[in-house]
Amino acid sequence: MDKLLEIHDLHAKIGDKEILKGIDLEIKPGEVHAVMGPNGAGKSTLSAVLTGRPDYEVTEGSILYKGQDLLAMSPEERAWAGLFLSFQYPIEIPGVTITAFMKAAVNAKLKAQGKAEMKTGDFLKLMKEKMALVQMKPEFAKREVNVGFSGGEKKRNEIFQMALLDPVLSILDETDSGLDVDALKIVADGVNTLRSPEKSAIIITHYHKLLEYVQPDVVHVLKAGRIVKTGGRELIDAIESQGFDQF
Amino acid sequence: MGHGHYIAPPAGQYRVKAGEKLELQFVVLPGESRDIELGIDLTGPGAEAHIKALYLCKADEKVHFHIVMHHRAPGCKSTQLINGIAGGQAQVHFDGTIVVAPDAQQTEAYQENHNIVLTEEAKVVTKPQLEIYADDVKCSHGATVGQLNADELFYMRSRGIPEAEARTLQMLSFLSPVIPEGREEEIEAAIRSL
């Protein structure tokens, strides 16, 4: 397969407000792309559109994922096909434990693939292993999803879910925001462990910190709903020294 | 009634005497309309009454709770938790009154009624009321009518949980404080039928 993701002339709006104004982006298997840009550039809108958030409307353009029309798929179908979003603001689900949540997610995917559900013992073992990857304590398995979690715990929980669901294309939306250096390293190590020649990632961020630990192959600058510059890691340094105004 | 959906002690009037404790649990499942009239008198010091109720309704069903909790003696305690979900064109009314008589000092009385409407046609009216004639009391009531949380729903779907399953999980967690032990599967099946 030549390309994993092909975004062509993507326009999207929320309400009456057009946020994405013609995005073109291609990602090959194994590549990590950074999307950098100032606040309000459309970074989170891009992740919302990729994962199928209902309140965003695509008005023009197309997205192909493994050659298939991504925009025709429901959010759950996209997840089954290997898409994953690490939320900028992970959602709290009172009354639902992490174990129940992830078991439902894993089994739904297996069911969609026509496979048998995982045995509870096997599932719990796998969960424990993936939690260890981001240094989540085992007791978190019984906690309600994100309820009462600190900012760092919520982000680690996102990367844990990513590890467990084993996605092909991961989108990390501002995963580094609000993290101290230790938490950032734990999250970055988790992400790096999951890198492989088949798997790709989009790292959305407005500053360079996470990119020191997770090195991208391609860097894009997103500004006012368009990608205004694409390059290599040298772009990170340019942004670091002179900001986004130069583009 | 021949339905087998409804579990409850008989509605009506209850007197709870000094030191006694009354616990009532109601479950109203889809398939019928229900009118639950309940009057509870806490007549002796230290009497307690605890009510839990769950309802699920759909189509053109009507569920009506009318509860009067009367604290007539000092040092009594009452709790009420009524949670339910209305789909279809169902109509739900909750009228709940707590009365605390002048002599009923050191009363503790709590009442909560939380409702979710699944459709635009379903209607829930909730009227919690407090009438307090004593001064040394702890009382609170709360009532909400809302919809399933859209952010939670999308978060679950983004992890691959199908929409119907995600909604069921949300509804189960909303109802969990009022689901009687051992009846989880039955309630889950009823939720799926909404």
Whether the full predicted model's pTM is greater than 0.80, yes or no, is yes
Mutation pick from B144, B147, B161 vs chain A, by most beta carbons of A within 10 Å, is B161
Where does A5-242 sit in CATH, by number? 3.40.50.300
The distance of A54 to chain B (nearest Cα, Å) reads 8
Task: Confirm whether B100 is domain-assigned.
Answer: yes
The pLDDT confidence band at residue B8, using thresholds 50, 70 and 90, is low
Domain membership flag for residue B180:
no
pLDDT at residue B2 tops 50: no
Q: pLDDT tens digits, residue range B78-130? A: 999 999 999 999 999 999 999 999 999 999 999 999 999 999 999 999 999 99
Beta-carbon separation of B169 and A105 below 8 A: no
In the DSSP assignment, the letter for residue A109 is H
- Give the residue, A110 or B8, on which the prediction is more confident: A110
Residue B6 above 80 pLDDT? no
Number of domains in chain B: 1
Residue A206 confidence (pLDDT): 80
Complex ipTM, two decimals? 0.96
Question: pLDDT tens across B37-62, in order?
Answer: 999 999 999 999 999 999 999 999 99
Query: pLDDT value at position A58?
Result: 97
Domain limits at B32?
12-147
SS (H, E, C) chain B: CCCCCCECCCCEEEEECCCCEEEEEEEECCCCCEEEEEEEEECCCCCEEEEEEEEEECCCCEEEEEEEEEECCCCCEEEEEEEEEECCCCEEEEEEEEEECCCCCCEEEEEEEEEEECCCCCEEEEEEEEEECCCCEEEEEEEEEECCCHHHHHHHHHCCCCHHHHHHHHHHHHHHHHCCCCCHHHHHHHHHCC
Q: What is the pLDDT of residue B166?
A: 95
- Residue pLDDT, tens place only, B94-106: 999 999 999 999 9
Question: In this complex, is the C-beta atom of B150 within 8 Å of any C-beta atom belonging to chain A?
Answer: yes
Q: How far is B55 from chain A (nearest CA, A)?
A: 18
Domain-wise residue ranges, chain A: 5-242
Asked whether residue B76 is domain-assigned, the answer is: yes
